[in-house]
Structure 1
Amino acid sequence: MTEPTPAQLQPLPDDWQRALAVVAHPDDLEYGCSAAIAAWTDAGREVAYVLASRGEAGIDTVDPATCGPLREREQRAGAAAVGVRTVEFLDHRDGVIEYGIGLRRDIAAAIRRHRPELVVTLNHRDTWGGVAWNTPDHVAVGRATLDAAGDAGNRWIFPELTERGLAPWNGVRWVAVAGSSTPTHAVDASAGLERAVASLLEHRAYIEALTDEDPEAYARGFLTSTAEATGQRFGGRPAVAFELFSR
């Protein structure tokens, strides 16, 4: 019996100027969608990063007090490699980030500060494609980001943010979820793939703790294979996939 052909992914809308990417840890964006971000900054769009934690619990052989500043430096360098200058940290505790009012408030505040039209986050579901368990941090931050996109525009939710000078922002038009097992849209990764590799390589301490493989071979292999697999549903061009939620 012939397997059904997967539906082709649609181009992500490009009629926007400002994006905010919200994820749990340093390296989440570099593994997920930095080739798309490079394409966006090339086109003159503004992209800012907000990370819920500093990734301080991410390297078993490095204590959190040392690891947090190390991974922050790697994240700022990784962002710069794809043209992103603004990187903020919310200082939730790595590994035990909790979905709830506090996290939603912090992300809504970031959305009000940056006033994006597009919000980007990472897979908020329990698994990666039904075959690997997702981490609680990814689930909490992804879900809270989807909720905070609405919270940010409602003056009666978190009125304390208005009192702090953060006026409601109801201008989020889409939330794009990277790493989804049910993507709907994609961005051509051709021009940004080399910078995406360079961006992931900035997380060298993390990669060297994760694998014995040569870091460049590891980063290039992972990102290239993922982009090429996505490209099979995007006209044969290497691509970054997103599940797009309109607002």
Structure 2
Amino acid sequence: MAAIPPAGRPGSGSSPLFDPARHAVRRVVAFGAHPDDLDFGVSGTVAGWTAAGVEVHYCIMTDGDAGGFEPEHRSSIVAMRHEEQRGAAALVGVKEVHFLGYRDGYLEPSHEVMRDVVELVRRVRPDVVLAMHPERNWDRLQKSHPDHLACGEAVTRAVYPALENPYAYPELAEAGLGAYRLPWLWLYAGPKERTNHYSEVTDSVDAKVAALHVHISQHPDAAAMEESVRTRMRASAQDAGLAAGASAEEFHVVSVNNPETIAGF
């Protein structure tokens, strides 16, 4: 997996770009609103990380009960989607999948959700947190399900300042989960103009697609889904200036804490 700078494209953002040669990644926590969001958005990058020995945790915020297409699945859809997510995660090397259990379609960036985010991130103490983008994408509104926006907003609020404030959610510190300064926040599924980082995933495309196919309850036309995903990844690679036939995933990378960071500024 390679990281590619945005080649000076206008509107690509001014955040310090992640350089894998200088910024080590040992642990990652990846947040998605629903089962399958991470597989669509980041599983190619995740597969590259886990193949290199990185410990990746998935955290799914809602229970997925509003998903699916078959009426006969209503009573079992939550268990089905949990099982699908565990199976998909395993195909890209993820061993730990956490479910927060909020109701599908009702997710809000509340203090209850933020506290859950802070608890997990303090427990794992990752180098990178992945989350859905909190900004609405007007070019492709399907990326901006209200739960997606709430996921991004809750995680972004949680990583600063609560995560690194020892007096935020004091019950966590009392339980031994002390304050933690996160180095990097990577946001995905956001507006195109926010992209400032590409991750080449050419070698893990098949693993990503296989993971998506595990979510059988969500794909009435699996072949069309696969073609759409492959086409978008090739287009991202073209935007990144990669060779023909390559694939990439896009991110808005935010440096939360670096050697120049001053608390509160």
Mark yes or no: TM-score above 0.5. Answer: yes
Number of the residue aligned with 2:172: 161
- Partners of 2:211 and 2:140 in 1: CA distance: 28
Q: Give the counterpart of 1:204 among 199, 212, 216.
A: 216
Q: Is 1:85 matched with 2:87?
A: no
Paired residues, number: 236
Gaps of 5+ in 2: 1-6, 257-265
Q: Give the counterpart of 1:127 among 137, 157, 162.
A: 137
| Pairwise CA distance, 1:123 | 2.3
**Equivalent residues in 2 for 1:91-106 (5 A)?**
91-106=101-116
- Partners of 1:204 and 1:196 in 2: CA distance: 14
- Partners of 2:118 and 2:83 in 1: CA distance: 25
Q: Any idea what SS the aligned residue of 2:219 has?
A: helix
The one-letter amino acid paired with 1:154 is N
Q: Any idea what SS the aligned residue of 1:175 has?
A: strand
* Greater shift in the superposed pair: 72-81 or 146-155: 146-155
Q: Any idea what SS the aligned residue of 1:91 has?
A: strand
Q: Judging changes above 3 Å, is the alpha-carbon distance between structure 1 residues 201 and 12 closer, same or farther for their aligned structure 2 residues? A: farther
Number of the residue aligned with 2:79: 69
Number of the residue aligned with 1:48: 57
The one-letter amino acid paired with 1:166 is L
What root-mean-square deviation, in Å, do the aligned CA atoms of Structure 1 and Structure 2 show? Answer: 2.1
Work out whether residues 201 and 249 of structure 2, in 8 Å CA contact, stay in contact via their aligned partners in 1. yes
| Pairwise CA distance, 1:13 | 3.1
Residues 85-142 of structure 1 show CA distances to partners (whole Å, capped at 9, x for unaligned) of 0000011111101111111111111101111110001122223536557221111111
Work out whether residues 12 and 186 of structure 1, in 8 Å CA contact, stay in contact via their aligned partners in 2. no
Q: Is 1:59 matched with 2:68?
A: yes
Number of the residue aligned with 1:188: 200
* Greater shift in the superposed pair: 54-63 or 12-21: 54-63
The one-letter amino acid paired with 1:173 is P
Q: Judging changes above 3 Å, is the alpha-carbon distance between structure 1 residues 130 and 205 closer, same or farther for their aligned structure 2 residues? A: closer
Q: Judging changes above 3 Å, is the alpha-carbon distance between structure 1 residues 191 and 205 closer, same or farther for their aligned structure 2 residues? A: same
Q: Any idea what SS the aligned residue of 1:50 has?
A: strand
Q: Any idea what SS the aligned residue of 1:44 has?
A: coil
The one-letter amino acid paired with 1:175 is L
Gaps of 5+ in 1: none
| Pairwise CA distance, 1:71 | 0.2
TM-score (norm. length: structure 2): 0.83
| Pairwise CA distance, 1:242 | 0.2
Number of the residue aligned with 2:3: none
Residues 66-89 of structure 1 show CA distances to partners (whole Å, capped at 9, x for unaligned) of 110000000000100100000000
Number of the residue aligned with 2:228: 222
Q: Any idea what SS the aligned residue of 2:39 has?
A: helix
Q: Any idea what SS the aligned residue of 2:94 has?
A: coil
| Pairwise CA distance, 1:222 | 2.0
* Greater shift in the superposed pair: 52-61 or 33-42: 52-61
Residues 17-76 of structure 1 show CA distances to partners (whole Å, capped at 9, x for unaligned) of 111001111000111111111111111111100111121111253465411000000000
The one-letter amino acid paired with 1:13 is D
The one-letter amino acid paired with 1:7 is R
